Structure 1
Amino acid sequence: MQQIRQYFENFTPMSDDDWDAFSSKLSRKSFAKKELLLKAGQIENHLSFIEKGIVRYYIPKEENDLTFAFSFHHSFVSAYDSFLTGQPSVYQIEAITDTIVWSITHKDLQNIYQTTSVGNLIGRHAAEENFLKKSKRELSLLNDSAEELYLNLFTEQPQLIQEIPLKYIASYIGITPQALSRIRKRIS
């Protein structure tokens, strides 16, 4: 849990009282590799911080799932659109590796916003991180080749990308696993 405090204190100092109020609302959850954090059709009720692990966001399809995002350790994970609107998610979130998260419910987060001096900063930072990740992904899809998409993912998390199955990476960049193998061979 100390990792979370350090993460937040990178952008705003937290008093012990604020930290105690916030951390008392967090719950630790462990997910095994391949376990779902959220299933399509469920309403997201948690904003979570990944202490350890990798998750993928995907739309389940009969033949091949469509992976559209990954979250790595020391970042947030949530079906944030569902979290904000209270509407069922159209996608799933799955642990790619054994994963540990610290979660806060929507209700508890609203309470933190109202009762602490840094609550709104924490919420704003989480929202900004999610927005920036989504904007970067959209721009990358519009501007970058499949090879550039792969290299961007590789440079962001080089030590972790080796833990992501190639079929998920291929789906993420919109190509077949065979085309990804050709790209990997060409750049190695």
Structure 2
Amino acid sequence: MEDIRKIFEENTKLSDEDWAYFSSKLKHIEVPKKTAILKAGKVENHLSFVQNGIIRYYIPNLESDLTFAFVFENSFSCAYDSFLCQSPSNYTVETISESTLWQVTYQDLEDIYTNTAVGNTIGRKASEALFLKKAKRELSLLNETAEERYLNLFTERPELIRQIPLQYIASYIGITPQALSRIRKRIS
């Protein structure tokens, strides 16, 4: 848990009292590989910090799921639109690998905002991180080729991308698995 404090303190100093209050609200969970953290149609009630593991966001589809995000270790994970509005999610959030998460509930996060000096800063930093990932993804889809999107994903986390099944990567960059095979062959 001290690793989490260090990551938060990269942006803002936490008093021991604020950290004690905040950390008392965190729930530690170990999630097996290929486990839905949130299923489409359910309301997101947790903001999660991924200590280790890989998480995939996808829209379930009868023909093939549409993967639109990955979350790696030392990052926040949340169906944030569902979390903020407390409305059902249109997508599923699932572990790709065995994952360790630290979660805070919607209500506990509201209490942290109210009862700590840095609660709003922590919440703002989490929401900013989630927003920046979303904006980067949108710009990537609008401005880059599938090959560039693949290379960027590979550059970001080369040690982890090997753990992501190719059909998820293909879906994420907006192409078929066959087209991804051609890209991989061309750049190798």
Deviation digits for residues 127-166 of structure 1 (CA, Å, limit 9, x no counterpart): 0001100000000000000000001111111110000000
Measure, in 2, the Cα distance between the counterparts of 1:178 and 1:68. 18
Aligned to 1:56: 56
- Which stretches of structure 1, 4 residues or longer, exceed 6 Å deviation after superposition? none
Q: CA RMSD in A?
A: 0.5
Q: Counterparts of 1:1-188 in structure 2 under 5 Å?
A: 1-188=1-188
Q: CA shift at 1:43, angstroms?
A: 0.2
Equivalent AA in structure 2 for residue 54 of structure 1: I
Query: 2:33 and 2:142 mapped to 1: Cα distance?
Result: 31
Structure 1 residue 53: Cα displacement = 0.1
Aligned residues: 188
Q: Deviations over 1:11-30 (max 9, x none)?
A: 11111111000000000111
Aligned residue type for 1:67: T
Structure-1 separation of matches of 2:62 and 2:29 = 29
Q: Secondary structure at the match of 2:57?
A: strand
One-letter amino acid of the counterpart of residue 72, structure 1: F
The CA deviation at 1:87 is 0.5
5+ long unaligned stretches in structure 1: none
Partner letter of residue 125 of structure 1? K
Q: Which residue identity is paired with 2:102?
A: W
Deviations 1:94-147 (A, max 9, x none): 100001100000100011011111100000000000110000000000000000
Partner of 2:70: helix, strand, or coil? Answer: strand
Q: Distance in 1 between matches of 2:12 and 2:158?
A: 28
Cα distance in 2 for residues equivalent to 1:174 and 1:101: 28
Alpha-carbon separation, structure 1, partners of 2:78 and 2:143: 26
SS in 1 for 2:12: coil
List gaps (5 residues or longer) in structure 2: none
CA distance in 2, matches of 1:14, 1:106: 21
Percent of aligned positions that are identical: 63
TM-score of the superposed pair, with normalisation by structure 1: 0.99
Q: Give the 3-state SS of the residue equivalent to 1:40 in structure 2.
A: coil
CA shift at 1:185, angstroms?
Answer: 1.1
